[in-house]
Chains A and B, each alone.
Chain A
């Protein structure tokens, strides 16, 4: 198992290398002047264009630029993200906790709702509750997050003024950046509580309700479907019939026998879902103006802030490879029939 894990982890540098090389290859379509436009925003600075091109080495062949970047990274310098207005490493440190917090707020509701209604749907197959659950799931799966996000904002922000977009209000902003506020965990909700700032806690939590709700509705469908079909399959198996023949109550059969086996694919899927959310939920973060990894990555990509794109992509690609590995290992842990790596 350890050998297998190490072998898979060896794949990580390769993916990182490939991902960044591919990004640099995309750059060949741009002239140095177009790329310099990122740094020169004001027409009055136009005379500095050549100096900027020179400074960032934009006229050099792409492979040379890639080599320079690799060397920088090897020295621990990920570059400066023009969109975030800070070094890439700092940008990751500032955006990642926000995405992580949002992920936590969305993931557990998704897991609970998905598994609960998936099981319910399977147990009451083709009954009313099953039809309703499946309909709600497929509508969520079909709803683009920006449509749902805008509608939610219109109702709960524009009309009711309950849940504003963004990360926090100005007051909280000032509070969390003051010297007396200690960042114990990096998770803002938790930190607010630990600092005894109840009002700030409510404020931060309020800002996360809509994005978390959007993610819940949109992402729950897949988990629900997998739980349902896996549960349906288990319920037809012989051991369930045996348990019924023994006269066990249906409740025990479902909870103790079938569910334990039905959850195997769910565990794998949910680990992939967790990492998927962690890699940044681009559109949801953009709609709600939530300062996370996804919003940063897409802003950087739009403005061709290459250092920013490389930084956010490296993080997501690293998470992706790790997630696949963790999913495979979890598979072996929850299902003793599966042995990996001999």
Chain B
């Protein structure tokens, strides 16, 4: 409680962190309330499929009927944005969660056991890190076939190495500390020392970096969707919706901004979502990092 009050006090002094919390809170609210504010049509099997009100190829600007307008082939943009919030959270939480888990486990083992275990894990890490950004991810999705799940797997596959590297460094310093020697003297097993003593004492930097990198994970996943490797057309996913807008940047003759909504609305959603996570990440760093105090 005392700690929570401390955090609140700090937030009040830092309007940017407060903005981050509010943005993510707002998106969370939209995600939770999705069935209420954008109810799926009765009898829909998958609520993530955006309802279609026709097959006309031209997007329609916002109107009373379609608050955010429609994309090409008449997918309702408002519905897509609301349910896309759920997709965005799912991607962010799953990808960051799994890659932190894998990174901590591999980095922890590498640092703890040293020797050839360390050598094998870290050289593998180096190889994955040496890939140009996105190319490995694109290869993985291209091989597995385009789908949102495969986008998530591929982003996980390219984001764990930085956590592993960080974790290894921290474990290396923590394992030399006295309490580890003490635990060993008491006869604790390797697994117990690693999971009870070393990981809890070295995980904070990884968590800080994880919260700072959530935003870029969202961008990477959206970028893969933008390249047409993500969810199929009509699925409520922001990256997919914005990839639909690529054909409409020119507008119609006489009105260059006729289709502005196809770019601006999903673009603004991704931007604000990522901004929220980045500001939140800064706040988490300030809260967890003792050197900043």
Contacts and interface: CB of A to CB of B under 8 A. Distances in A.
B132 interface: yes
B246 interface: yes
A282 B135 contact: yes
A302 B135 contact: no
A69 interface: no
Nearest to A282: B134
A82 B224 CA distance: 22
Interface stretch (A72-80, A117-125, A137-145): A137-145
B210 interface: no
Contacts of B223: 144-146, 282-283
Interface in B209-265: 215, 219, 222-223, 226-229, 242, 245-246, 249-251, 256-257, 260, 263-264
Contacts of B156: none
Interface string A269-310: 000000010011011001000000010011001111000010
Interface stretch (B26-34, B48-56, B270-278): B270-278
A316 B242 contact: no
Q: Would you call the interface of chain A mostly helix, strand, loop, or mixed?
A: helix
Interface in A220-274: none
Contact of B227 (A18, A147, A302, A321): A302
A151 interface: yes
A276 B138 CA distance: 17
Interface stretch (B80-88, B110-118, B120-128): B120-128
Interface stretch (A20-28, A44-52, A103-111, A325-333): A20-28
A309 B143 contact: no
Contacts of B250: 154, 157-158
B131 interface: yes
Interface residues of A, number: 49
B132 A313 contact: yes
A14 interface: yes
Nearest to A153: B249
Contacts, number: 144
Contacts of B275: 138-139, 142
A245 to B, nearest CB: 27
Given A138-B278, A147-B263, A154-B249, A297 B132 contact: yes
A89 interface: no
Output the residue of A153, A294, A302, A321 with the most chain B CB within 10 A: A302
Given A19-B131, A158-B249, A26 B138 contact: no
Contacts of B132: 279-280, 282, 294, 297, 312-313, 316-317, 320
Given A147-B270, A154-B249, A26 B257 contact: no
A135 B17 CA distance: 12
Contact of A147 (B16, B138, B242, B260): B242
Contacts of B126: 11, 15, 18
A297 B139 CA distance: 10
A16 to B, nearest CB: 8
Nearest to B246: A150
Output the residue of B144, B229, B267 with the most chain A CB within 10 A: B267
B287 interface: no
Nearest to A17: B127
A297 B251 contact: no
Nearest to A301: B138
B142 interface: yes
Given A141-B278, A154-B260, A279-B132, A309 B139 contact: yes
Going nearest first, the 4 A-B pairs with the smallest beta carbon separation are: A316-B132, A18-B127, A147-B267, A301-B138
Interface of B: 16, 123-124, 126-136, 138-140, 142-144, 215, 219, 222-223, 226-229, 242, 245-246, 249-251, 256-257, 260, 263-264, 267, 270-271, 274-275, 278-279, 282
Interface of A: 11, 14-15, 18-19, 22-23, 26-27, 29-30, 134-135, 138-139, 141-147, 150-151, 153-154, 157-159, 276, 279-280, 282-283, 286, 294, 297-298, 301-304, 309, 312-313, 316-317, 320-321
Given A283-B227, A301-B138, A320-B132, 17 more contacts: A26-B143, A138-B16, A138-B275, A144-B219, A146-B223, A151-B263, A279-B133, A282-B133, A282-B135, A294-B132, A294-B134, A298-B138, A304-B139, A309-B135, A313-B136, A316-B132, A317-B130
